[in-house]
C-alpha cells in the first residue's frame, strides 16, 4: 500500500486503469488507526484488481482539499478518474469489500 502525495495523485490515482480505494487519514486519528489494517487486508486481497493507497491529510492538505475531506477517516473509491463513492468514518471490512466489488 502506497502513500500518495499531490505530485503523484494525477498519474497514480486519477489516470489509473484500475479502480482505486484511497484512505484519507492522520496519525493522531483513533478511527483512522482502525481503518488502516482493514486497508492493508484489502490491498493484499485485491492487489491485482484494485489499487489501495493512503493520503496523510496533515502532510497533504491540498490533496485532501481536492477531495473535499472534512472529516477523517474518509475512504474514496475512484474509477476511470471519477469519484464513485466517499465514506466518512470507520466501517467493517465487509462494507469496503462491497464498495470494491461493485466496480471490479
Question: Judging by DSSP bridges, how do beta strands 20-25 and 74-79 pair with one another?
Answer: antiparallel
The three cell numbers of residue 68 are 473535499
Distance CA 14, CA 1 (A): 17
Active centre residues (catalytic): 29, 32
Amino acid at each position: 500500500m502506497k502513500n500518495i502525495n499531490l505530485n503523484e495523485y494525477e498519474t497514480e490515482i486519477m489516470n489509473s486503469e484500475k479502480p482505486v480505494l484511497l484512505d484519507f487519514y492522520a496519525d493522531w486519528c483513533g478511527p483512522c488507526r482502525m481503518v488502516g489494517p482493514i486497508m492493508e487486508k484489502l490491498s493484499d486481497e485485491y492487489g491485482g484488481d484494485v489499487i489501495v493507497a493512503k493520503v496523510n491529510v496533515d502532510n497533504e492538505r491540498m490533496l485532501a482539499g481536492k477531495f473535499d475531506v472534512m472529516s477523517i477517516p474518509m475512504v474514496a473509491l475512484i474509477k476511470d478518474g471519477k469519484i464513485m463513492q466517499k465514506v466518512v468514518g470507520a466501517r467493517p471490512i465487509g462494507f469496503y469489500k462491497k464498495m470494491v466489488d461493485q466496480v471490479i
